[in-house]
A and B are shown apart, each in its own frame.
Chain A
Amino acid sequence: MSVSDRRRILGPTNARPIQFAPLNEDSKKIDTERKNLNKSVFIENGLVSNSNGSSYLETRDSNGIEYPTLLLTSVYGPRPTRGSFNSKASLTIQFKEVTAENFPTGELKELCNFLTNIFNAVINLAGYPKSGIDIFLNLIQHEGPSGEYSREAILPTCINGITLALVDAGIEIFDMVSAGSYNGTVVSFTKNGEEIVGLWKDTGDVEDLVETIEKCKEQYYQNRSTMIKYLMQNKK
């Protein structure tokens, strides 16, 4: 019996994916220098009409064109769960790459676990007994400045996206969460930067943890004020 996926049309079995020849080294170097530039962001809520709440974030370099990260987040719930009684809502977060698939499944699993931990602490789960809240992150496009696909580059956008989608869905959260990333470290804050709800460390060396946290906090303030500004402008 063949074990191939018969629910999808997969094409010829002997096909192999396209491989591109490496680019010249010089064109890469220029790009890594621009890694820590300011970002500009575009926000729109409520794009996915059949979800309870959704947000669309477009993060680009400050010139507005390069290195885009496009993320569409939708929240379904709180909706009834089957089975035994739960006094708290159960939260699931799924991450999907809508176009090109660049991250291995295992890495995405870790990313989802990290995000679930953050939002378990932030959503008022006790306010929604017997319910499930399902969050779907759809990464439409991502290109890191170094040409690599790194999770720490998209993590702050994911956290911002989920926060905005939860607000759009009207689900109670204790505070606006946001995050900043610096040198491969992502720190997520609430309560005006006084509480850390998540710390992600993957690659790179951290010489001074306090300095890293301070850098991340700066970005947190920036992200949070952008989100609040958007929400105040567009309140119904």
Chain B
Amino acid sequence: MASSIEIHPITFPPEVLARIAPDLSIQRHLSLGVRPCLRQFEEFRNIEISDGGLSRSTDLFHNSEENNILGSNVLRSGKTIVITSITGGFVEELLPVHGIDEGEEELRNMTMQHDRISQFGAVYPVVEVERGRMGAPTDEEMNLSQKIYNCILGSGVIPKSSLNVSVGRRTTNPDKSVSITYPDEEGPELDQQFLPKRKWSYVLYAKIQVFSRDGPLFELCWNSLIYALKNTKLPRAFVDEKTTDLKIPVRVRGRSAAIRETYDIICDSHKSIPLVLNSKNVGFASNFGVIDLDPEARLPEKEDEMQVDQEDSILLADLQGEAEESSVLSTLSIISDEKGNLKHLGIIGGGSKVTTETIRRSILLSSKRSEDLSTKN
């Protein structure tokens, strides 16, 4: 006697299905007109930002001599939290002993005009993504850091001139009181010969920490860094009067003697100036994915429903979650400002066809997104 075997269909809750069959999960969702995160196709996540009260310029700090954070941002997008803090350093430019002569200066300016990148300053970012493990940075962290570095430098957000230090000098008056004067505060009366003959520029470092990673991170890190740079304040710096004229010739590998720093440049604990950004080059980032619809994954339609012609491929904005990240392989990453001026455009055509129409649409959406993000503060 043959016993009949009953076959029970197995059902999974959505989050389990997304884990074991991400492509099926995403196709089923898309055929219903929503994404696994229940957003519309072209809907972005809202972001919340604040400066987090981390930097030394916020009023909360009393003993700010210890705090060396110049600018900060905390960005929350969905569950993901990005904390960016900007710190600084100085680099002294080595100048020839007798100053640069005019001919050389002219030649330098001429070559500078052709070298676009040399007109802009960089930020040195270190991205860390918390993943519950220790050890060397992952590929993703290294790629993110490098890409952010390249984009900051290439898009020209920070003009080199805004990183130049306008050095003040600290004078001890005859009555033993100490005063600090800055060249731009005192006007042209300040005797030129008392100005320091050395030249410094600021170096900016960014530390970007990500918690609850949930999808691609470049755009979140970039936006957080831009917000942080916007509220960055560079401290004023000075040298002691007695060191302004100090010259110590040091031989540098056979070339002519140069002056090397011996006395430290010190920062003013109270005064700071905002970092001047090249506002027309500031853009916000957004990402997109293109996915082909699989007709077989579609749920069987009821007979009385009208047959709706669905497009074959769908543009998804602001990818999120494991299912989207692993099954959407064609991606676009765009940095643009509100007018649609592109600062960065990366397209990866992995599987799905990225048409001109899609690119046009995503650029339009990214400029809208940028308009929205630029109003947040």
The residues of A with any CB-CB pair to B shorter than 8 Å are 7-12, 14-23, 27-28, 31, 47-51, 65-66, 68, 72, 74, 76, 94, 98-100, 102, 134, 136, 138, 140-141, 143, 146-149
Contact A19 B267 (CB under 8 A): yes
Selected contact of A68 from candidates B60, B85, B124, B205, CB within 8 Å: B60
Complex Cα–Cα for A48 and B62 (A)? 31
A25 to chain B, nearest CB (A): 12
- The listed residue (B130, B207, B269) touching A136 by CB distance below 8 A is B130
In the complex, what residue of chain A is closest to B214 when comparing beta carbons? A49
A7/B137 in contact, CB under 8 A: yes
Ordered by A's residue number, 28 sampled pairs between the chains whose C-beta atoms are within 8 Å are: A10-B124, A11-B124, A11-B203, A12-B203, A15-B90, A16-B90, A17-B68, A18-B90, A18-B235, A19-B266, A19-B267, A20-B266, A21-B267, A23-B64, A28-B63, A47-B81, A48-B211, A49-B79, A50-B132, A51-B132, A68-B53, A94-B134, A99-B85, A99-B207, A138-B211, A140-B54, A146-B63, A149-B66
* Residues of chain B contacted by A94 (CB below 8 angstroms): 134
Q: A20 CA to B65 CA in the complex, in Å?
A: 6
Say if the beta carbon of B131 comes within 8 Å of chain A.
yes
Residues from chain A with a CB closer than 8 A to the CB of B72 are 99
**B130 x A99 contact (CB < 8 A):** no
A22 B124 Cβ-Cβ under 8 A: no
Given A12-B91, A17-B89, A51-B132, check contact A100 B212 (CB 8 Å): no
For A21, list chain B residues within 8 Å (CB): 65, 266-269
Q: Considering residues A50, A102, A146, which has the most beta carbons from chain B within 10 angstroms of its beta carbon?
A: A50
> Is B158 interfacial (CB 8 A cutoff)?
no
Q: Identify which of A10, A74, A147 contacts B132 (C-beta below 8 A).
A: A74
- Chain B residues 226 to 254 lying within 8 A of chain A, measured CB to CB, are 235, 237
With A74-B130, A76-B132 already in contact, the answer to whether A49 and B62 are too (CB < 8 A) is: no
Residue in contact with B68 in the complex, picked from A20, A28, A72, CB distance below 8 Å:
A20
User: For this complex, into which size category does the number of interface residues on chain B fall?
Assistant: 35 or more
- Determine, out of B142-150, B190-198, B289-297, the stretch whose residues face the partner at the interface: B142-150
Q: Which chain A residue shows the least CB distance to B146? A: A9
CA distance A31 to B61 in the complex (A): 11
Q: What are the nearest 9 A-B pairs in CB distance?
A: A147-B63, A76-B132, A11-B124, A99-B85, A15-B89, A49-B212, A49-B79, A15-B91, A15-B203
Check if B66 sits within 8 Å of A102, measured CB to CB.
Answer: yes
Nearest CB on B from A207, distance (A): 28
Question: Chain A CB within 10 Å — which of B137, B203, B214 has the most?
Answer: B203
B222 to chain A, nearest CB (A): 15
Are B89 and A8 within 8 A (Cβ)? no
A11 to B70, CA, bound (A): 17
Contact A9 B124, beta carbon cutoff 8 Å: yes
The answer to whether the Cβ of B126 comes within 8 Å of any Cβ in the partner chain is: yes
Which residues in B have their C-beta under 8 angstroms from that of A99?
Answer: 54, 69, 72, 83, 85, 207, 209
Could you tell me the distance between the alpha carbons of A160 and B135 in the complex, rounded to whole angstroms? 26
Check A8 against B137 for contact (C-beta < 8 Å): yes
In the complex, A8 Cα to B148 Cα: how many Å?
Answer: 12
Pairwise interchain contact B214-A141, C-beta atoms closer than 8 A:
no
| A48–B91 touching, CB < 8 Å | no
Taking the closest CB of chain B, its distance from the CB of A3, in whole angstroms, is: 15
Kindly list chain A residues whose C-beta atoms are within 8 Å of the C-beta of B66: 102, 143, 147-149
Which of B79, B149, B209, B267 is in CB contact (< 8 Å) with A9? B149
B213 interface contact, C-beta 8 A: yes
A148 CA / B203 CA spacing, docked (Å): 26
Determine whether B154 belongs to the interface, using a CB cutoff of 8 Å to chain A: no
B340 contacts A by Cβ under 8 Å: no
Q: How far is the CB of A12 from chain B (nearest CB, A)?
A: 5
Chain A proximity of B89: nearest CB distance (Å): 4
Cβ of B87 under 8 Å from chain A: yes
Q: Knowing A9-B149, A143-B61 touch, does A138 contact B67 (C-beta < 8 A)? A: no
> What residues on B are CB-neighbors of A143 within 8 Å?
60-61, 63, 66-67
| Residues in chain A near residue B70, CB distance under 8 A | 18
Of all chain B residues, which has the CB nearest A92? Answer: B134
Q: Is B125 an interface residue (CB 8 A)?
A: yes
Question: Which chain A residues border B79 with CB–CB below 8 Å?
Answer: 47, 49
Residues of A within 8 A of B83 (CB): 98-99, 140
Q: How far is the CA of A47 from the CA of B267 in the complex (A)?
A: 37
Closest chain-B Cβ to A158's Cβ sits at a distance in Å of: 17
Contacts of B68 in A (CB 8 A): 17-18, 20, 100
Instruction: Note all chain A residues with C-beta closer than 8 A to B131.
Output: 50
Q: Is the CB of A50 within 8 A of B214?
A: yes
Does B136 touch A at the CB level, under 8 Å?
yes
B303 at the interface (CB under 8 A from A): no
Q: A23-B65, A100-B68 are in contact. Are A18 and B142 (CB under 8 A)?
A: no
A residues within 8 A CB of B132?
A: 50-51, 74, 76, 134, 136
Note all chain B residues with C-beta closer than 8 A to A23: 63-65, 269
Q: Does B216 contact A (CB under 8 A)?
A: no
Which residues of A lie under 8 Å from residue B92 when comparing CB positions? 14
Task: State whether A100 touches B62 (Cβ < 8 A).
Answer: no
Determine the distance from Cα of A51 to Cα of B92 in the docked complex, in whole angstroms.
Answer: 44
Q: How far is the CA of A76 from the CA of B131 in the complex (A)?
A: 9
Please give, as numbers and ranges, the residues of chain B lying within 8 Å of A27 by CB-CB distance: 62-63
Do A48 and B212 contact each other (CB < 8 Å), given the known contacts A94-B134, A138-B130? Answer: yes
Expressed in whole angstroms, the minimum distance between the Cβ of B133 and any Cβ of chain A is 8
In the complex, what residue of chain A is closest to B86 when comparing beta carbons? A99
Distance (whole angstroms) from the CB of B326 to the closest CB of chain A: 15
